[in-house]
Structure 1
Amino acid sequence: MTLKINEDFDKRVIVSSNKLAWVPSPMPGVDRKMLDRIGDEVARATTIVRYRPYSEFSAHLHSGGEEFFVLEGVFSDEHNNYPKGSYVRNPIGTQHTPKIGAEGATIFVKLHQFSSNDTEQKIIRTTEQAWLPGLVEGLSVMPLHEFEHEHVALVKWEPNTSFNSHRHWGGEEILVLEGTFHDEYGSYPKGTWIRSPHLSTHTPFTKDDGAIIYVKTGHLPA
């Protein structure tokens, strides 16, 4: 039977990843927290993966593309080293062999979610990039990727910032990287993953601690 986790994209999903237990992968020293998944070891998946120091993962082909953001440590493969804050896109048909160093690494990774026409390979070290002004005072944005209807960015919210009520065409996905993100439905501290379906709405804001979020829009079934 195919493994399914949060597979219904018509439902709003909130996961407190800090409360999830690490589950061993088939590779020694590599553990994961599955946020959504349709499939077994080859799957459409959104996952937080932890590589222990000096762990390795076997060579593999990205048959559906791979997108990841380094949350902690340094992720490495035969092509490059990717420190904390790196955003990487490996399109369909690329391959690599992860081999992690002394610091270990934790990444937020999305697999098998690329358009076949989205062929840009990309490495962005976000700690070296400038923030751009957002649409309202107190909001800063760092665009990471755009293709057709899909948009990916980091968004920095200063304390006590409010944004307009808005509707998500093609859905919205958020991982809270720092601080606490809020909307009229709840409060979401660091480590919270939120997936909101096509045409959902909300009115987000921050309080005294502000927030930094990874956000992707327009990529869910319409």
Structure 2
Amino acid sequence: MRLNADFSQPVIITPEDYQWIQSPRGEVKRMMFDRVGLEQARATSLVEFPSNSQFPEHQHPFGEEVLVLNGTFTEDDHQHYPSGWYMRNPHLSKHIVSSLDGCLILVKLMQMSEEEKLATRIDTRDERNWTYLNNRKICQLFQSEYEHTFLEKLESQQFFESTYHNGIEIFIIEGELVMNERNYSAGSWMRFPTQHRIEFKAGASGALIYVKKDHLKNI
């Protein structure tokens, strides 16, 4: 499968565009934003776990990145991650995942370097993990020569603008962003290629966004 696989083109997907697809054995539903490959693929998706669901043990070549958007996500039957937790599982890691009450997660697969060896777990709802950087409120998630990933809280009408020489992705977790007089609500996902300038501002209620940049240089 090749879905939004031309990384030289900008892509914007809003909740009105969503098309949910059941996993092959029916454990979860997926809303695919981009995908290169079949069941084992380089992919960015929303994954919805119904209550009392479990996905059997599986391995992650080139890693897995997860942000819990709502509900509680469970690993290996005993590690529980409620809404707001961010995790990275490195190359060739294995686990069983489930959800007792159901959950929704943002997932990125096969997008990590083999050199990344350690698992990452960050509670983004803990204010101690947030800092101000050049008047921007940031929760740093991961940074290397291959990527920079963080959450950012924008105040009402605050601007988010730059030229990202090596590409950028944005997922709106809460609130909305405005670009060219169009409003993009929570759940919208955007990917912009290298050397692309963007200029957004937050809506009236502000915005909480997931940002990944500097990761599309060699794609």
- TM-score norm. by structure 2 comes to 0.93
Q: CA deviation at 1:118?
A: 1.7
Distance in 1 separating the partners of 2:181 and 2:145 = 30
Q: Is 1:141 the equivalent of 2:113?
A: no
- Superposed, 1:1-222 pairs within 5 Å as 3-78=1-76, 80-101=79-100, 103-130=101-128, 131-136=130-135, 139-163=136-160, 165-184=161-180, 186-222=182-218
Mapped contact 1:154–1:214 kept (Cα < 8 A): yes
CA gap of 1:13–1:185, structure 2 versus 1, over 3 A, is farther
Structure 1 residues 70-104: Cα deviation after superposition (integer angstroms, max 9, x where no partner): 01100102151111011000000110011221x21
Mapped contact 2:47–2:104 kept (Cα < 8 A): yes
Mapped contact 1:18–1:191 kept (Cα < 8 A): no
Q: CA deviation at 1:183?
A: 3.0
Q: Matched residue pairs, number? A: 216
Q: CA deviation at 1:18?
A: 5.0
Unpaired runs of 5+ residues, structure 2, are: none
Identity %: 35
Distance in 2 separating the partners of 1:84 and 1:204 = 26
Distance in 1 separating the partners of 2:216 and 2:31 = 21
Q: CA deviation at 1:132?
A: 1.2
Distance in 1 separating the partners of 2:116 and 2:15 = 29
Secondary structure of 2:125's match? helix
Q: CA deviation at 1:185?
A: 7.2
The one-letter amino acid of 2:90's match is P
The one-letter amino acid of 2:199's match is T
CA gap of 1:206–1:121, structure 2 versus 1, over 3 A, is same
Mapped contact 2:90–2:117 kept (Cα < 8 A): yes
Structure 1 residues 28-82: Cα deviation after superposition (integer angstroms, max 9, x where no partner): 3410101000011010000100010111111111112000100110010215111
CA gap of 1:98–1:207, structure 2 versus 1, over 3 A, is closer
Secondary structure of 1:7's match? coil
Mapped contact 2:174–2:186 kept (Cα < 8 A): yes
Distance in 1 separating the partners of 2:185 and 2:150 = 19
Mapped contact 1:74–1:83 kept (Cα < 8 A): yes
Mapped contact 1:169–1:218 kept (Cα < 8 A): yes
